[in-house]
């Protein structure tokens, strides 16, 4: 694996130097024969997006065309320029990203998925899934070019696949799952926790073999609770739009980097290496598969801790845990006195699709009050952005019978964490 990683890294550096004007200039002072990551400058979303047309290696790809594509809801799930998968990031650092996967990188994704499933599933599990018709339920957001949405759109319409919206009230989601009875269930992590609540209460009656959780982190004991409640194996992964095949989770609840196709460097605030066992300030990503949009020593902004000894699960390669990705849920009192819980994903994905909204933060300031901190993009009218965001939030709250919840327009800007990111959802007990 080490030799494959080294060979692919050298090829990527040479490709970036040759085909990307951005990297050609960035590496001007770096010796041509260098193939060591530590000798290369660090990159980040802000500078790469600012140099988008020079960053990409295909001259047909332009930021103007990519933005036009993301503005078209009908384009979700379709290839950009007939050959690239295009996804967008949430912009928790204050800078929205547009990322492409070429055919080479896209081919790595199912291979790494197969690696993860081979780690989790036994022959008996596979037989059980087959006996259940291989029915798969995806619980994903709507209306944006998010990685999960794009994947779901490409699967929509298949008889053995149900694509369910995270924006549906929980009772409706439970009803749909009870009717479909999936063998494989793929929700976001906090949705998985809410479904576990429903199973414990006897309202969710499904028997999946495997539940794959994504997007958000949960405390380690919560994975075990979800597994018990749903009677299934529960696996997770740590990934990003910049590298969808970055890692897979093991039974010991550690994350294993797919080191033959990706490199992660835990570093301190000055981008110096951090030893195993010590929490990093951030982590630098190198995607060894993507050629159209080279990702080299890219600052992801996540704090990680690498395990200092071999993982008991037996998986090779680095094992790590990620800090700063724990998800937050919001609890409200419903009109009939029952508790209504909203996972962060329905709220955040709803606002990510608001035109002109560059950055936002939803703060629950009371049992029936939300405060929206926002920053409009350059050139966007703040009042128009606010009105659109308010309408979309109100529609979601109404769908969950929370019409009495007040939405305040904050005068203060979203607040950054020490790691340079913005927590998009802050519950009332964590203000």
**Tens of pLDDT, residues 93-111:** 556 789 999 999 999 999 9
At 118 the pLDDT is 87
At 302 the pLDDT is 86
d(CA 183, CA 269): 44
If you classify domain 330-430 with CATH, what class do you get? alpha beta
pLDDT for 166-177, tens place per residue?
A: 888 999 999 999
Alpha helices in 181-266 (DSSP H): 189-200, 220-230
| Identity of the highest mean pLDDT range in 111-115, 171-175, 277-281, 397-401 | 171-175
At 91 the pLDDT is 58
Prediction pTM value: 0.82
At 92 the pLDDT is 56
First to last CA, the chain: 45
In the chain, where are the structural domains located? 2-106+239-323, 132-232, 330-430
- Asked if 171 and 197 touch (Cβ cutoff 8 Å), the reply is no
Q: Do domains 132-232 and 330-430 have the same CATH topology?
A: no
- Asked if 290 and 101 touch (Cβ cutoff 8 Å), the reply is yes
- Share above pLDDT 70 across residues of the chain, in percent, rounded to a whole number: 95
If you classify domain 132-232 with CATH, what class do you get? alpha beta
Q: Number of C-alpha atoms within 13 angstroms, CB side, residue 172?
A: 10
In this structure, how many other beta carbons lie within 10 angstroms of the beta carbon of residue 22?
20
Residue 242 pLDDT greater than 60, yes or no = yes
- Asked if 185 and 230 touch (Cβ cutoff 8 Å), the reply is yes
- Asked if 40 and 13 touch (Cβ cutoff 8 Å), the reply is yes
Q: What is the mean pLDDT of residues 384-411?
A: 92
Q: Which residue, chain included where needed, has tokens 């094992």? A: 319
Residue 301 pLDDT greater than 90, yes or no = no
Residue 90 pLDDT greater than 80, yes or no = no
> 2-106+239-323 is classed in which CATH architecture?
3-Layer(aba) Sandwich (3.40)
d(CA 189, CA 246): 17
Q: What is the mean pLDDT of the chain?
A: 88
At 325 the pLDDT is 55
């Amino acid at each position: 694996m080490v030799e494959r990683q080294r060979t692919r890294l050298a090829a990527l550096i040479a490709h970036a130097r040759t085909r990307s004007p951005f990297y050609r200039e960035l590496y001007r002072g770096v010796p041509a024969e260098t193939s060591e990551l530590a000798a290369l400058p660090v990159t980040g979303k802000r500078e790469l997006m600012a140099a988008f047309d020079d960053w990409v290696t295909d001259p047909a790809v332009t930021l103007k065309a990519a933005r036009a594509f993301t503005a078209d809801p009908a384009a979700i799930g379709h290839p950009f320029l007939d050959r690239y998968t295009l996804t967008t990031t949430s912009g928790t650092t204050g800078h929205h990203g547009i990322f492409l996967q070429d055919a080479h990188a896209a081919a790595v994704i199912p291979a790494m998925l197969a690696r993860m499933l081979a780690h989790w599933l036994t022959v008996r599990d596979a037989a059980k899934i087959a006996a259940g018709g291989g029915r798969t339920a995806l619980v994903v957001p709507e209306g944006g070019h998010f990685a999960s949405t794009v994947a779901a759109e490409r699967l929509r319409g298949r008889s053995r696949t149900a694509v369910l919206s995270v924006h549906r009230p929980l009772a409706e989601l439970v009803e749909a799952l009870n009717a479909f009875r999936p063998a494989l269930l793929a929700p976001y992590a906090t949705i998985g926790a809410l479904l576990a609540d429903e199973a414990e209460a006897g309202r969710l009656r499904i028997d999946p073999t495997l539940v794959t959780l994504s997007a958000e982190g949960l405390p380690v004991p919560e994975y075990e609770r979800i597994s018990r409640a749903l009677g299934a194996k529960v696996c997770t992964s740590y990934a990003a739009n910049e590298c969808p095949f970055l890692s897979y989770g093991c039974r010991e609840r550690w994350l294993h980097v797919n080191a033959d196709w990706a490199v992660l460097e835990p570093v301190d605030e000055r981008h110096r290496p951090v030893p195993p066992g010590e929490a990093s300030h951030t982590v630098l990503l190198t995607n060894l598969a993507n050629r159209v949009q080279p990702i080299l020593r890219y600052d992801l902004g996540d704090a990680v801790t690498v395990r200092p000894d071999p993982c008991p699960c037996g998986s090779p390669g680095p094992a790590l845990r990620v800090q700063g990705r724990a998800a937050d849920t919001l609890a409200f009192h419903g009109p009939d006195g029952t508790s209504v819980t909203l996972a962060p994903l329905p709220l955040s994905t709803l606002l990510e699709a608001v035109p002109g909204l560059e950055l936002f933060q939803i703060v629950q300031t009371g049992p029936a009050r939300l405060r929206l901190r926002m920053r409009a993009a350059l050139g966007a009218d703040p009042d128009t952005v606010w009105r659109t965001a308010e309408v979309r939030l109100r529609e979601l709250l109404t769908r969950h019978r929370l019409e009495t919840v007040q939405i305040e327009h904050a005068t203060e800007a979203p607040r950054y964490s020490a790691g340079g990111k913005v927590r998009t959802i802050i519950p009332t007990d964590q203000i």
